[in-house]
Amino acid sequence: MPVPPHSATEQPRAEARRQQILCAAAQCFREHGFHGASIAQISKTAGMSAGHIYHYFENKEAIIAAIVAQDLEDLLTLTAELRSASNVRAAMIERVAEGVLDQLDPLRAGLKLEIVAEAARNPRVAQIVRDADIACRRGLADTIRDIRRAAGHADDEAAIASMVEVLATLFEGLLLRSIRNPGIDHAQVIRRIQAAVNDLLDQAS
């Protein structure tokens, strides 16, 4: 059972250890798959004992949960920053470039696809991924609703949800493209997706 740090001085060290484990696990999951990556391999890559890893994470599923939670935190931070911008729409379209490059990164794409593949086989991992997706969709829906409302649109929840799904499909599809076509022209894709997002925000409900 993982034991949380007690003192304030232990917390930064514990967080650094957690990050060390997560980085090692991500590398092992990419290289060997979820089932092929053993705790022994992760511990060797992290440069610490297996017992030390179990001090922080109960099992590999807990490691996946932590990786997914980090991605979720990044996305929620992004949506919060967008909604606080003076021009939310312009900020969202500008940040599309960052999102495209992130999704086309082969290392990040490989890890995300491995987690989704495991979610298709493992109900517990599926629940982790689906819970994160609900939170992601909620944050994106709030951002789109703000943009649409400022432009005079009166959308129902179904309309906003459908726009969220289109954006999610667009960006998650980039994960596959990064593997199937590693030579993809990033600049052209960014330009086209920025135009697509701009068009989506103007569409009728």
Closest CA to 198 of 92, 97, 104, 101: 92
- Contact assessment for residue 39 and residue 57, using Cβ atoms and an 8 Å cutoff: no
Pair 42, 25: CB distance under 8 Å: yes
Distance CA 80, CA 64 (A): 24
- Quick one: which of 121, 11, 13 has its CA closest to 61? 121
Fill in the amino acid letter for 161: A
Query: What six digits make up the tokens of 150?
Result: 């400022």
Phi, psi of 193 (to 5 degrees): -70, -35
Give the pLDDT of the chain (205 residues) as one tens digit per residue: 565 555 556 788 888 999 999 999 999 999 999 989 999 999 999 999 999 999 999 999 999 999 999 999 999 999 999 999 999 999 999 999 999 999 999 999 999 999 999 999 999 999 999 999 999 999 999 999 999 999 999 999 999 999 999 999 999 999 999 999 999 999 999 999 999 999 999 998 8
Distance of CA 190 to the CA centre of its chain: 18
DSSP 6: -
Give the architecture-level CATH label for domain 7-57: Orthogonal Bundle (1.10)
pLDDT of amino acid 1: 55
7-57 and 60-202 agree in CATH topology = no
Return the domain boundaries, the chain.
Answer: 7-57, 60-202
Per the CB < 8 A criterion, the answer to whether 96 and 140 are in contact is no
Alpha helices in 7-87 (DSSP H): 10-36, 39-46, 50-56, 60-83
Q: Give the Cα separation of 132 and 135 in Å (integer).
A: 5
Q: Angle CA(46)–CA(136)–CA(32) in degrees, nearest 5?
A: 30
The CATH topology of domain 60-202 is: Tetracycline Repressor; domain 2 (1.10.357)
Residues near 91 by Cβ (< 8 Å), separated by ≥ 6? 81, 82, 85
Rounded-to-integer distance, Cα 172 and Cα 100, Å: 10
